[in-house]
Amino acid sequence: MDAHSRDALVDLLETPSPSGYETRGQRVWLEYVEQFADDVRTDAYGNAVAVYEGGPDAPEVALAGHADEIGFLVRSIDDDGFVRPGRIGGSDPSVSQGQHVTIHAADGPVEGVIGQTAIHLREEDGESPDVSDLWIDIGAESEDEVKERLEIGDPITFSSTVSWLSETRLAARGIDNRVGTWAAAEGFRTAVENDAEATVYAVSTVQEEVGVKGAQMVGFDLDPDAVVVVDVGHAVDYPSAPSEKTSRMELGAGPALGRGSTNHPVLFEALQSVATDRDVDVQIEALGLGTGTDADGFFTAAGGIPSQVVSVPNRYMHTPVEVIDTDDLEDVATLLGGFASRAAEFAPFAVEI
């Protein structure tokens, strides 16, 4: 990964972007892609699109990832000055206690910690906490003191940031799914450099973590001939991983191509062809009941859009310490760029009956 691309990835990961509050992250993404796009635009909710204009009779394809991350928001404030959080997306209370958090208030960030009763004082019941059991300590002593610093509805993210565990092993919060928006941008850049015949859109959607809402908006608006969605998938190559619950993906073994349900067989075969051509190893992920990604929003939009998921293997999903191998991520970008560059060859994207 060259230094410019690496810096862009780190910038995306370090910019808070919880669902419904993605503006800052989208601004960072747009500043990157506009360097090589013919046009960039956003819609009323902040979905961001970069455009490369291909030939007039060529297909239109989209490369997409979602900008939002899980988090919390200020739900209420106690009389004694403790902030009670509500959930944004699939935040996991079991890994939240004892964590540093940042509340993104209008006048600037407010630092806090999610409290945890000391082990000496806890009952050994083994039960996981619910989000309603959590409280955030910002050092205040009253409700009025808290209200001078923040408001109900302010978003909250974990304060953890990027750590390089090795040359290619990256840990961060929000890897799900800023790595997808990065890969979409990099695949788009490759297609531009290759003078792709197709019109290519790079898309950074909002509100995937709360119901693939942004993909539904963008799919209807763009109505491309095909879309490849990048998200993360469960790597289960660590102690205690319940590998029987998912396809057996591992870090460093390449991107995972989804099969089943939403995933379109023509696109699956096209990406396999690109993988062979570019000497990229791929894993296969069985997704028979839907993908749980933006592809589920795209593929039924505008009358049905052929859609395919490519997953970056990811350990510890929806925690503050998600881990990927950046070799896998670079291979995803290679697949996307190769597909977009050859899209006219694979069209039309329809099953034969």
Q: Which residues are annotated as a binding site for Zn(2+)?
A: 66, 176, 209, 231, 318
CB 298 within 8 A of CB 219: yes
Position 119, amino acid:
I
Q: Report the SS3 class of residue 45.
A: coil
> Among candidates 117, 119, 148, which has minimal Cα distance to 134?
117
Specify burial of residue 42 (Cβ count, 10 A radius: 0-12, 13-18, 19+). middle
Specify burial of residue 303 (Cβ count, 10 A radius: 0-12, 13-18, 19+). exposed
CB 200 within 8 A of CB 343: yes
Verify whether residue 250 is a known catalytic residue: no
Of 60, 69, 197, 208, catalytic: 208
> Among candidates 163, 167, 162, 161, which has minimal Cα distance to 325?
167
- Distance separating alpha carbons of residues 227 and 210, to the nearest angstrom: 20
> Nearest 5°: CA angle at 169, between 292 and 295?
15
Strands ordered across the beta sheet of 39-42: 39-42, 48-52, 199-205, 60-66, 226-234, 307-314, 256-259, 283-286
CA-to-CA separations, 41 to 49, 247, 312, in angstroms, rounded: 5, 37, 26
Hey, what are 277's tokens? 């051509």
Phi, psi of 25, rounded to the nearest 5 degrees: -65, -40
Q: Which residues are annotated as a binding site?
A: 66, 176, 209, 231, 318
**Residue-wise burial string across 210-222, b where 16 or more C-beta atoms lie within 10 A, e elsewhere:** bebbbbbbbbeeb
* Catalytic residue numbers, as ranges: 208
